[in-house]
Structure 1
Amino acid sequence: MGKTNTVLIVFYDNQVPFHVYYRGAEYKGYLHKKRTDVYDKCWAVGHSSDVCPKPNAVICTLCGTANPATAHPCTLKCLLCGQAHQTSDKTCPQRYQTLRLLIYRRQEKAKLQQQQYLSTMISTQDAHPERQEVKPCDTPLPQYHSNLEALWLTQPIKAATQESAPGAPFGICGTRGFGWSPPSTAATQSNPRHSYGKLG
Structure 2
Amino acid sequence: MKVSQERILINPGYVSSLLGPLALAVAMDSRGDIFGLVDYSDVSQCALVIFHLIRPEFDVLDEATRQEVKKALGYLVENSVSSSSIIDSILTQCEVCPEAHGIFINELWVSIFPAESSIEYVAEKCKVGRNPLNFRQYNHSRPAELSLQDRMNKLYEMLLINFDRKVDAEGRGTGEGDTI
Is the shorter-chain TM-score for this pair beyond 0.5, marking a shared fold?
no
TM range (shorter): under 0.3
Q: TM-score, normalised by structure 2?
A: 0.17
Bigger radius of gyration among the two: 1
Structure with more helix by fraction: 2
